[in-house]
Amino acid sequence: MKTTISSAKNPNVSVRTARRVAQSAARIVSARNEIASIRELVRTARPHLAEVANARNNAYLYLYDSFVRESPHKDVMRIVEKRFVDFGLSGKVIRITPFTNCRSLIEDELRYGVKTVVVVGNNETVAKVMSRAADLDVVFGLIAVGKKDNELAESLGIPLNEEACNTLAARKIELVDYGVINNQRFFLTSIHIQNARLRITCDNTFVVKADKENVELAVSNLLPSSVQGMTKGFLHPQDGKLEVIIRPQVSGVLSGLFNRRAYSKPSVFPFRRLLVSAARPFVMTADGRETQESSVEITVAPKKLKMIVGKERRF
């Protein structure tokens, strides 16, 4: 005997049909619930997806010196920025001034996913950034703009202007040494002290003391020394040491002839720690920046700086 369910509209609807209708209705309700869940998931995930996309876009931080926007360099910078886009190197651009705290600025951007900091400028721009930020755990690159004051780019094997983008895109990274001054600030290229009566202690192994005559002193890392008699190929920025060049002034009547100072042949010593002091303050130039000092401790941070370099680097 066939069982049926009576209905006001259709008294011959079977139990099987009713079950199918109920199952379909349940599937529709379940699908609606799943769609609602997916919508809620998308809604909650959207901010996180935006953060990821923003982090990818900001993987590069560009620190522009103010002069690169001036008229002599506008055409070059237009090409440079186009190549950033073409090579997939787009990132956040910040213009720095002499009053910019580059360390705090970079530390803030590291929290948003920055992996590479590119200095856009010249030797002075690099010194401005690195003097406070060389010890940060980030890769540094350089776009050298203009033809003057870019000896550091040449040492690193980086072409000038828009051609530097090719080196940046190739991303060949080398670990190099940098110098530390009084455990407070850093230098990459060189230090120079001229015409001072110095006491120099090298690695606590020997002391050079000039009580009567002036001494010229230079410390080299990523740029060759400016001391006369030194060759330009004198670079070892990956050996875990710095090199100090000491050249005493020659005494005698002829040394003051025509107001020219005469110096003896320079001597070179590798070191990890150097103490320089004097009875009177002396002028020290570190990466192009002059300061008055009476006592200085110079140490090396061996192979701690991650730099993007080119094939034609000098080391």
| pLDDT, tens digit (0-9, with 9 covering 90-100), for 30-83 | 888 888 878 877 777 666 555 544 544 559 999 999 999 999 999 999 999 999
Q: Please state, in angstroms and rounded to a whole number, the distance separating the CA atoms of residues 58 and 94.
A: 12
Q: Which stretch of 252-261, 271-280, 300-309 has the lowest confidence by average pLDDT?
A: 252-261
Q: Which stretch of 19-28, 54-63, 89-98, 248-257 has the lowest confidence by average pLDDT?
A: 248-257
Q: What is the pLDDT of residue 212?
A: 72
Angle at 122 between CA 118 and CA 123, to 5 degrees: 105
32 belongs to a structural domain: no
Q: How many domains does the chain contain in total?
A: 2
**Interval 156-182 mean pLDDT:** 97
Domain limits for position 64: 60-170
Identify whether residues 192 and 156 lie together within a single domain.
no
Q: Give the torsion sign (CA, 165, 152, 98, 301).
A: positive
Identify whether residues 88 and 164 lie together within a single domain.
yes
Q: Tell me the CA distances in angstroms from 58 to 51, 140, 249, one per residue in order.
A: 10, 15, 52
What does the block give as tokens for 154? 């040449």
Identify whether residues 249 and 281 lie together within a single domain.
yes
